[in-house]
Amino acid sequence: MHQPSNSYHGRDLALDERSSLRPPRYQPSADNSEKRDRLLYILVFLLIVISYLLGREQKRRDWEGQETNIAGRENEMTRMEREWKTQREEEGRIRDSFRWTNLTPSGHCTQYGVRKYTANFFPGYALLSHDEVLTGCSNAEAIIMGRTYSRPDHCNFTDDGRYVGHWSVQGVPDCRTYFQEFQDKGCVASGSSPLHRYEAHLMTTGPEDDGQIMCNTTPLQLKGKSFANPDSCADWGKHGWWGIFFLEDSECQNLQVQSR
């Protein structure tokens, strides 16, 4: 019978010896898995906490920034209000320094009841510029014939260095012209539009008044009708200015008209 050789036997022994020297393969236990999961949960929890704390800190900084911005805006508004109040007070002092001097009526009436007035404007503040003085003149209050005017009609700077305000003052008694010496001139139109003509003499015009303008702006009550002004006016030389008025008159329908 054939017997195995010693060489084969020796090789088997060597393999067994090397196998016994190799470290055992790691096999994770159930306890190790639980520890690993627990560590993972702790890490996730810590990340969540850190994220929350960082977010809260960022919100706090944002709120602080907003509060700083609000405080800055409030400070800016307070500063602007102080500047506005200071400016208004300064403007008030400047306005209080404004004065009108040498109030003078013109030598003639400009129309019925109206006369021009002028006055020199004194600003009070020597440091005001030309434009500021002219603006002050154009917005300065004045009292003329007991009536308060919030501002003049206009202001101008004269060649002799004066700032002058101009007003058209209404209700001036010596500019209230009137009509008298009424004359009936009879019918001047018949048919469907019968008209009766009246004439009246314009009174109390001044030597420098424009008779045409004064006549055309003088009102009249005639035969129960109010006229804001005559239908026309005529200058009859030494006889003065006359107003001409036409009234509708049914009695003129069938009557022969008269010429002037």
Residue 71 — pLDDT band, cuts 50, 70, 90? confident
Instruction: Kindly report the average pLDDT of the chain as a whole number.
Output: 82
Separation CA 113–CA 56 (nearest Å): 81
What is the pLDDT, as a whole number, of residue 30?
62
* Pairing outcome for strands 154-157 and 99-111: unpaired
Per-residue pLDDT of 141-151, as tens digits, reads: 999 999 999 99
Range of lowest pLDDT (121-130, 142-151, 201-210): 121-130
Separation CA 84–CA 233 (nearest Å): 57
Per-residue pLDDT of 143-198, as tens digits, reads: 999 999 999 999 999 999 899 999 999 999 999 999 999 999 998 887 677 899 99
Average pLDDT over residues 17-31: 57
Question: Model-level pTM?
Answer: 0.59
For residue 237, is pLDDT > 60? yes
Range of lowest pLDDT (62-76, 119-133, 214-228): 62-76
Separation CA 119–CA 137 (nearest Å): 10
> Which tokens sit at 229?
């002004």
197 near 204, Cβ under 8 Å? no
* Residue % of the chain over a pLDDT of 90: 40
Give the CA radius of gyration of the chain. Answer: 55
At 111 the three-state DSSP class reads strand
